[in-house]
Amino acid sequence: MSEEELRFPEWQKPLQDLILEFNREKLLEKVKKVEAMIIERDRQLAGSSGGQDERMALGDAMSIIRVLIDRATN
């Protein structure tokens, strides 16, 4: 997907790049950065009454990251 097609490109684009990374060392390095972005965005949304769709997408993103970590470390 292009950046224009992403609903939340500020963190979805880096996640997309992470998913497409096949170098194990680079993958683990990128995981830390993307995970930090997702956690920070989740914190930003915590105080608001809206953002339900994005919160769900953030949860899905964290699930994807866990799968990537499992594959990279096994």
Q: What is the DSSP string of 51-63?
A: -HHHHHHHHHHHH
Domain annotation covers residue 5: no
Q: Identify the pLDDT of residue 4.
A: 77
For the chain, the domain total comes to 1
Task: Say how many CA atoms lie within 13 Å of 70 toward its Cβ.
Answer: 6
Q: Supply the range of the domain harboring residue 27.
A: 22-73
Domain annotation covers residue 39: yes
Domain annotation covers residue 14: no
Domain annotation covers residue 11: no
Domain annotation covers residue 46: yes
Contact assessment for residue 11 and residue 34, using Cβ atoms and an 8 Å cutoff: yes
Domain annotation covers residue 28: yes
Q: Identify the pLDDT of residue 48.
A: 85
Q: Tens of pLDDT along 7-56?
A: 999 999 999 999 999 999 999 999 999 999 999 999 999 988 889 999 99
Domain annotation covers residue 55: yes
Q: Identify the pLDDT of residue 36.
A: 98
Domain annotation covers residue 44: yes
